[in-house]
Structure 1
Amino acid sequence: MLLLYNIGIRLYFLAVYAASFFNAKAKLWIIGRKRQQIKTTDGCIWFHFASLGEFEQGRPVLEALKDKKPETSIVITFFSPSGYEIRKNTPLADAVYYLPLDTAANARHFINTIKPAAAIFTKYEYWYHFFNELHTQQVPLYIVSGIFRPGQIFFKWYGTLHRSMLKMVTHFFVQDEASVDLLKTVGVNTATVSGDTRFDRVWTNANNPKSLPLIAEFKNNQKVFIAGSTWPQDEELLTGLISRYPDWKWIFAPHEIGEERIVKLMDLLPSESTARFSQISDLKSQISNLNILVIDNIGMLSSLYQYAEVAYIGGGFGRGIHNTLEAAAFGLPVIFGPNYSVFKEARDIVHLKAGISIDNAEQLANAADLLITDTEYRDFASSKIKAYVQQNVGATAKIVEAIETPN
């Protein structure tokens, strides 16, 4: 199995390398790893994140440990350029790198160079050689906000290698009891339920939001529907709603902001009442007269939700919905596509009737009618979803306490 894993890793590298000749993200993935110089540290805490979402999820733990141990160096690695490129200069870390390709030699060199006192991985990302090297060198390895499902490779008959990775982890801090029970079925008894650190992150953000004066001016005391992290299929459905609710304003914050994507989205929208965020400062007194705003940058979305009343979360017609909790922390009822079942918080929100999953334009129209026109129901859903977030805060404190006082 290890031989097949090693072959798969190299084939993956070759596929990304081939894609790098015509794909900008793949090019960053290759060049970033090729050019980086790993600096020697000693006794650091190493945080690894797949991408930007996992960074935000693990950030509360990072910040808490940094506050408690300010003398300890922090090293961060990312697998994806979408995380690295945005957070490569974060003041929370002493060094930020791309995770080298998972080979035995790379893992040994990287870990021998940064010399971590502990390693913390968030939610996903299981890399055999890095885990094995940490285990061999007796470096504690923690998984935070982990969640497991029966369909994952760890619980398949052919998942022997991946099960061996689980047994290299010092402790799992998981989101629910079902994950603890699943791990026990494969002989892993080092897991406790701590909850999801994203609740801590979004609650902190909602209670200390960044002010966005231009957005406040755009809102102009009117109701706002925000579509966050959308993809083309989401946007094609959503644009059909705009004419139904002329008294509402609309903000689109697409998941990808390349020029081609932004132009295609703009083409779907009525040009006379739409503007890009990068251009509204030039409109001066006309900002409040706009009806639709397209966000063409990264990093604003978590603060935008404070100006809205209802949110649509994109991704549900693809691999899975994006972050519903950022909107939920502000008390926004949410609508999203059908692919949400692997996200515990989304299932919980639907159960609470504070979130609505839709499959088509008709269902979207019905959901929007309910949340836009029925103010009593919207208020009910808003209070339910905000209370849900508040009730689930606290994972960070449990994790940090356990890491600092191991059994």
Structure 2
Amino acid sequence: MKWFWILLYNLIFYPVLFVFALFGSLFDKKIRKGMIGRISTVGEIKKYFKNRSINKIIYWFHSSSYGEYLQIEPVIRGVKEIEPETIILLSFSSPSGYDQVEAENIDCKIYLPFDFPWTIYRVFQIVNPRKMIFASYDIWPNWIWIGARNKIHTNVIAARIKDHSNKTKPVFRNIYRSIYGSMASIYTVTEKDHIRIRSLVGSGASTIIRVLGDPRYDQVKTHADDYTRERVESLLDREKRLVTGSMHSEDEQIILKPLISYMLENNDLKVLWVPHEPSVSQIKRLIKLFQRSGLSVGVIGSKNNLTISDEQLVIVSVVGILSKLYWQAQVAYVGGGFSTGIHNVMEPAIARLPVIFGPKYHHAHEAEELLESGGGFCVKTGEEFIGYLSRILSSRDRLTEASYSATNVIHRNIGSSTRIVRGLIRD
């Protein structure tokens, strides 16, 4: 049965996906950049390993984008601490990861080569990793199947299967069983994920499955410690400010008008508006929109100056500083929950902020924990958003209670990266 899915994937599904990607690259700059990067990857691997010892231990880590890289960053750091001579090969699917990541622990950075069998066999002739580790979701079948045939230990960390996932449904279940059942080891986030994945791979698979948590908690805590070593300001001593982080147009449609009305009625509330992918035209549009509404507007346009001006609404036109800006606020709204799924809710939580977000959050275990603990609030309408915002900010007790609950979610989940590093070395 496994061979049926391998043939179906290689003869129909992946070729169709490849054609769609080629077509999409004609119109989308990010897709085009990723495709061009993949074309040159085999040559880059060959060039890097040409004059290096083939006897060195190689760990190949893969993440889809920058967000998933943050998940494996503490694991890479831990592997390097224990085995400093190890070569770390890091691959990405998206330019957002490839372009943003520069770290001393990474020896070779590439785009993941195309998922064609002949490409993968060619790559494995050049490089023979001891382990190939995938972050969470971006798992490409041929790398798993061919890796297993070549006796390469393939692993996925922070693995999750959501409620009502396609992976558990008829037909899809059989496809994913052939993939997950071919892995050497799988490290899940929760016990519930462990049970679902164990059921998915079946009793006949030799896959090692362990509950080891999500290393993003460690990454967020480490970065927060580095930044906040001298920032001990109490939440209640901060300015009464809301950060709307990683905002999509769909978030804007839901909360923008109610928020403007609320700000006009409550002049003491200040807002940092942070678009997900800011552009010059978008920033100009937002400035005009907020000014026409009667609000004073400022702009943060530099990564090197985190001083927030005194205008009631300040727009952030650069990327890469959001996690630090959370420390200058009392509450956060995290975008993406009305479109592709919420972005990082750990960063505001470690900054001691209650976190509000939209209904598409089920891919994020940390969001579920925030809701359960009382540190997170899910909204489906602009009215609900204003209701939660008003209740949180109108009571010092409610604010501090929600703040403590949010931060506690991070602290009680710390330690996963150490467990994963031990697992990778042991299994």
Matches within 5 A, 1:12-27: 12-27=17-32
Match of 2:68 among 24, 38, 54: 54
Distance 1:279 1:354, change over 3 A: closer
State whether residues 366 and 409 of structure 2, in contact with CA within 8 Å, keep that contact through their aligned partners in structure 1.
Answer: no
Distance 1:211 1:375 in 2: 25
- Counterpart for residue 273 of structure 1: 296
Matches within 5 A, 1:118-133: 118-133=131-146
- Between 1:270-279 and 1:22-31, the stretch displaced more is 270-279
Distance 1:273 1:281 in 2: 23
Matches within 5 A, 1:178-193: 178-186=192-200, 187=202, 190-193=208-211
State whether residues 64 and 93 of structure 2, in contact with CA within 8 Å, keep that contact through their aligned partners in structure 1.
Answer: yes
State the Cα RMSD in Å.
2.5
1:2 aligned partner, one-letter code = I
- Between 1:53-62 and 1:7-16, the stretch displaced more is 7-16
Distance 1:267 1:92, change over 3 A: farther
- Between 1:27-36 and 1:103-112, the stretch displaced more is 27-36
Confirm or deny that 1:365 pairs with 2:371: no
1:38 aligned partner, one-letter code = E
Match of 1:263 among 276, 284, 293: 284
- Counterpart for residue 44 of structure 2: 38
Distance 1:90 1:73 in 2: 13
For structure 2, the residue ranges without an aligned partner over 5 or more in a row are: none
1:389 aligned partner, one-letter code = I
What's the offset of the Cα at 1:27? 1.6
- Between 1:364-373 and 1:40-49, the stretch displaced more is 40-49
State whether residues 239 and 328 of structure 2, in contact with CA within 8 Å, keep that contact through their aligned partners in structure 1.
Answer: no
1:110 aligned partner, one-letter code = V
What's the offset of the Cα at 1:155? 2.4
- Between 1:291-300 and 1:51-60, the stretch displaced more is 291-300
State whether residues 111 and 133 of structure 1, in contact with CA within 8 Å, keep that contact through their aligned partners in structure 2.
Answer: no
Distance 1:211 1:16, change over 3 A: farther
Task: Provide, for residues 211-268 of structure 1, a one-character-per-residue CA deviation record: whole Å limited to 9, x for no partner.
Answer: 999xx9xxx9522210111111222413532323321221122111233333333333
Provide the secondary structure at the position in 2 that maps to 1:132: helix
Provide the secondary structure at the position in 2 that maps to 1:289: coil
Q: Which runs of 4+ in 1 moved over 6 A?
A: 210-213, 279-282
Confirm or deny that 1:223 pairs with 2:228: no
Matches within 5 A, 1:228-239: 228-236=245-253, 237-238=255-256
TM-score normalized by structure 2?
0.87
Match of 2:217 among 199, 212, 229: 199
What's the offset of the Cα at 1:90? 3.2
What's the offset of the Cα at 1:288? 3.4
- Counterpart for residue 93 of structure 1: 106
Distance 1:308 1:400, change over 3 A: same
Distance 1:221 1:181 in 2: 43
Distance 1:263 1:24, change over 3 A: farther
State whether residues 340 and 347 of structure 1, in contact with CA within 8 Å, keep that contact through their aligned partners in structure 2.
Answer: yes
Distance 1:136 1:357, change over 3 A: same
2:27 aligned partner, one-letter code = F
- Counterpart for residue 354 of structure 2: 333
Distance 1:235 1:150 in 2: 28
- Between 1:221-230 and 1:121-130, the stretch displaced more is 221-230
Q: How many residues align?
A: 397
Task: Provide, for residues 87-137 of structure 1, a one-character-per-residue CA deviation record: whole Å limited to 9, x for no partner.
Answer: 2x4333111111111110111122222321111111112211111121112
Distance 1:107 1:260, change over 3 A: farther
- Between 1:110-119 and 1:99-108, the stretch displaced more is 110-119
Distance 1:211 1:402 in 2: 31
1:338 aligned partner, one-letter code = P
- Counterpart for residue 302 of structure 1: 323
State whether residues 149 and 182 of structure 1, in contact with CA within 8 Å, keep that contact through their aligned partners in structure 2.
Answer: no
Distance 2:280 2:15 in 1: 32
Distance 1:368 1:61 in 2: 36
Confirm or deny that 1:3 pairs with 2:7: yes
Percentage identity across paired residues of the two chains? 28
2:134 aligned partner, one-letter code = F
What's the offset of the Cα at 1:383? 0.8
Confirm or deny that 1:103 pairs with 2:107: no
- Counterpart for residue 182 of structure 2: 168
Distance 2:315 2:346 in 1: 21
Distance 2:350 2:239 in 1: 20
Distance 2:213 2:238 in 1: 36
1:325 aligned partner, one-letter code = M
Distance 2:122 2:218 in 1: 35
2:9 aligned partner, one-letter code = Y
Confirm or deny that 1:28 pairs with 2:42: no
Confirm or deny that 1:289 pairs with 2:307: no
Match of 1:380 among 398, 401, 418: 401
Distance 1:11 1:261, change over 3 A: farther
Task: Provide, for residues 347-389 of structure 1, a one-character-per-residue CA deviation record: whole Å limited to 9, x for no partner.
Answer: 2211222111111111111011011212210100001111121
State whether residues 39 and 113 of structure 2, in contact with CA within 8 Å, keep that contact through their aligned partners in structure 1.
Answer: no
Distance 1:212 1:20, change over 3 A: farther
For structure 1, the residue ranges without an aligned partner over 5 or more in a row are: none
